[in-house]
Amino acid sequence: MTILEIITYPDARLRGQAEAISDFAAPAVQQLVDDLLHTMAALPACVGVAAPQTGHLCRLLVIDCQNGRKPPPEHHGLLVVGNPEILEWSGMAVGREGCLSLPDYTGNVMRAHTVRVRFQDRNGQVHILTLNGFEARVMQHEMDHLDGKLFTDRIVSRKADLFPRRQTT
């Protein structure tokens, strides 16, 4: 397994439209899944990585909210998510987000509090899950990467809602 390089803004590849995965059994897809999982595990407090953040324009992401600094009480654990689609959403909430591809900033972003998502796992099996709170936010954030969007595209005001990240020493 390889720790993949995370590309950062303003790299144009972050704005690309990811292609659907048609063959989950393909060795290249399985290797990418393993590499994304290895990459996420290697990054402190990382709760998600989307394939486009590593230069792979396919509709694949991994999330694991239990890896965060403050894991939510309810979560589905490690999820490998291919070809995701939001079926329903409800409630809206503002929350602070950061991104590996924009490492120097965080921002206040409005997102749905609850999402019902259909996706395929690493074996191509279809799942439908309802995610709430932080886990729903992470899913929406990572899904945005599949469509070439960054959290900064969703903030209302760069002046009021975008913040330099605190540097830890």
pLDDT tens for the chain, residues 1 to 169: 899 999 999 999 999 999 999 999 999 999 999 999 999 999 998 999 999 999 999 999 999 998 877 878 888 999 999 999 999 999 999 999 999 999 999 999 999 999 999 999 999 999 999 999 999 999 999 999 999 999 999 998 888 899 998 766 5
Q: Would you call 74 a catalytic residue per the annotation? A: no
The confidence score (pLDDT) of residue 168 equals 60
Cβ(68)–Cβ(134) under 8 Å?
yes
Kindly name the residue from 19, 85, 88, 142 that is annotated as catalytic. Answer: 142
Indicate the Cα dihedral angle 21, 110, 77, 84, nearest 10°.
Answer: -20
Domain parsing of the chain, residue ranges: 12-164
The answer to pTM > 0.75 is yes
CA count, 13 A, side-chain hemisphere, 142: 30
| Three-state secondary structure call for residue 1 | coil
- Residue 65's CB is within 10 A of a number of other CB atoms, namely 24
Q: Which CATH architecture has domain 12-164?
A: Alpha-Beta Complex (3.90)
pLDDT at 68: 77
What count of other Cβ atoms lies within 10 Å of the Cβ of residue 48?
A: 26
Lookup result for tokens 């393993």: 34
Q: Give the start-end residues of each E strand in 45-168.
A: 48-50, 60-63, 79-99, 102-120, 126-132, 162-164
